[in-house]
Amino acid sequence: MHVFIVIVGLLASILLIGVILLQSPKSGSGLTGGMASLGTVQTLGVRRTGDFLSKTTAVLAAVVMLLCFIAQFTLPGKESSKASSESILQQSVPVRPAAPAQPVPAAPSTPVLPVK
């Protein structure tokens, strides 16, 4: 199930990238700007194409976010019955015996003067 959700999420994100690249930038050179010169203004209209791409972008973005959220809860190997409160990093660290404390060297009793 997790693999299916991840694959559908990847396909939706690739479609989202394509739809974003098709949208018209501020300069007017994009799919909606180029369609006016191709004579397709009578069928779709430049305004309708822009609206369609904007709505498709919003829907695909919502689908990608939702699939990412769902994929988090379908991860394989997730054990919810584990009563341990340790993290994975804490569980994988080998236990070392405590080393005895090293004595701190004593400070010299007479001050050391710099040599001139």
pLDDT at residue number 91: 72
Q: Which residue ranges make up each domain of the chain?
A: 48-75
Kindly report the pTM of this predicted structure: 0.52
pLDDT at residue number 40: 46
Which of 52, 53, 72, 96 minimizes the C-alpha distance to 9? 72
pLDDT tens for each residue of the chain, 116 residues long:
889 999 999 999 999 999 988 887 765 555 555 555 555 445 555 567 778 888 999 999 999 999 999 998 888 875 554 556 667 777 776 777 777 777 777 766 776 677 76
How long, in residues, is the chain? 116
Alpha-carbon span 109 to 102, nearest angstrom: 21
pLDDT at residue number 97: 72
